[in-house]
Structure 1
Amino acid sequence: MGFKEYRGEKITVYFDGDICQHAAECVKGLPEVFNVKAKPWISLDHADVKNVVEVINRCPSGALKYKI
């Protein structure tokens, strides 16, 4: 599968579903950005970039990466 790219106005997030451990740190941390019931499930323009980075840095598997 590899990384899937999600672009926002100020940040791009990459998600690797192959290594995701489903700890849900992202979903619990910013449900308005990381919503598994939505398509696409990552919507980056619903939160401040600083908050998105903070939540991504809590990802225990490293499945989420970002580029500003």
Structure 2
Amino acid sequence: MITKEYSNGEVTILWKAEKSIYAGICVKTLPKVYNPKDRPWIKVENASSEELIDQVSKCPSGALSIKK
């Protein structure tokens, strides 16, 4: 399984595309961070570490996780 990492220097978001159910919760919660039309589609610099951790904890599929 391919895992992509996106870091802001404090926390790293791990994304496993194969696990995603594309519920859109990430985009709805933090649209300034998640934009599926952009590359890279996750821009961790657009939110605080606390906001990122909070949002990732709501991912229903586990496709997004945090590595500290």
The normalised TM-score by structure 1 is 0.91
SS in structure 1 of the partner of residue 66 of structure 2: strand
1:8-27 residue CA offsets vs partner (Å, 9 max, x unmatched)? 13211100000100011101
* CA drift at 1:67: 1.9
Identity %: 37
Q: Report what 1:34 is aligned to.
A: 34
The normalised TM-score by structure 2 is 0.91
Q: Report what 2:22 is aligned to.
A: 22
Structure with higher helix content: 2
Q: Point out where structure 1 has 5 or more consecutive residues left out of the alignment.
A: none
Q: How many residues align?
A: 68
* CA drift at 1:6: 1.1
* CA drift at 1:54: 0.8
User: In structure 2, how many angstroms separate the alpha carbons of the residues matched to 1:34 and 1:47?
Assistant: 10
SS in structure 1 of the partner of residue 18 of structure 2: coil
Q: Report what 1:46 is aligned to.
A: 46
